[in-house]
Amino acid sequence: MGSQDEKMAALRTKLASLESLQESEISRVCVDIAHDRRRLAALEHPTKEPGKTETSRAEKIERYLASRPDHKVTYETLKGHLGIDKDLLNDAIKTLMAASPGRYGIIRIPGDKRKRALIMLPK
C-alpha cells in the first residue's frame, strides 16, 4: 500500500509544481499584454509638442485678450484676427490654456448657445 501512497504524493507534488508554473506563465503573459497595450496607446495617441506657429498664435491671442478692456473675445473674432480656421484656432487655444492653466476659460455667448468666447480670468 505504501507504494500507492508514494505515487499519489509524487503526482500531487508534480501537479502543484505544474500549477505554479502555469500561474507564473499566465502572470507573465498578462504583464506582456499590459505592456503592449501601453505601447499601442502611445502609438495611437502620441503626445505632440506645440510648434512655433501654434505657440506664436497662442501668444497673439494672449496679447489680444490682455489689450481688450473686458478681457473677452469670441472665437469668430479670433479667427478673423489670426486669419485661421476653427481647427487651427482650437489648437492655438489648447496650447494657450496648457501653458497657463487656470488663467483662461471658455464661455457661451448669451443669446446664441452655439457661439463661444475665450475669457481671461482674474488672477
Give the pLDDT confidence score for residue 1 in this predicted structure: 57
* pLDDT tens string 66-105: 999 999 999 999 999 999 999 999 999 999 999 888 899 9
Which residues have a Cβ under 8 Å from the Cβ of 107 and sit 6 or more positions away?
A: 72, 116, 117, 119
Give the pLDDT confidence score for residue 111 in this predicted structure: 86
Q: Tell me how far apart the alpha carbons of residues 73 and 96 are, in angstroms, rounded to a whole number.
A: 14
Give the pLDDT confidence score for residue 70 in this predicted structure: 92
Residue matched to cell numbers 497673439: 60
